[in-house]
Amino acid sequence: MRNVRITWILGLALVASVGCEQGHGEDKKSQLGVGVADASARIASTQGNQVEGTVSFQKASGGIRVVARLTGLKPGLHGFHVHTNGDCSAPDASSAGDHFNPSNAQHGDRYDEQAHVGDMGNIVADDSGQASLDYVDPHMTLEGENSIVGRSVVIHANQDDVQTQPAGNSGPRVGCGVIHAGRG
């Protein structure tokens, strides 16, 4: 009788384990962007800054449509990138890592043929500190090797010169948000 109970308990544990693995696989697919049609990031300021807003990503003809709405920036141009890690926990957003660059390309502008997947150039803030951007990015995807899902969007204090390697000399990170599948 004791052996039957142990076998039954082990059987339940195996079923539960398989169920957890299947569920974990679903999460992993979502993290990798499998079957994802859109994604978004809620931008929060880094320590000592006032930046906030949203960036949305949606599949479109020719790539991914990027729509950004930000407030709290100093007037002028600000480097705007997707970074490798989906982690904005460090006070200066250094936890987001480097620009997302799966093909080891040179840093450049969003329309350069050989730019980082994460290179989105600059976003322009007006005199009131508001910035918006709406364009179709030809490099990034929401699925596969160039998927930005699970990574982060970083806004920098200064203009990205789109030439200096490896990151455009765009200065400290003033805002950061993790990119999640779906609309935020």
Catalytic residues: 81, 83, 99, 107, 116, 119, 156, 173
Contacts of 139 by beta carbon, 8 Å cutoff, 6+ apart:
63, 110, 115, 116, 117, 119, 146
Please give the structure tokens belonging to residue 25.
Answer: 């696989």
145 to each of 14, 135, 150, how far by Cα in Å? 33, 21, 12
Give which of 37, 65, 79 is closest to 135, Cα–Cα.
Answer: 65
Helix (H) or strand (E) holding 7: helix 2-32
Contacts of 41 by beta carbon, 8 Å cutoff, 6+ apart:
54, 55, 56, 152, 153, 177, 178, 179, 180, 184
Strand partners, 131: 70, 125
Give which of 108, 46, 93 is closest to 73, Cα–Cα.
Answer: 46
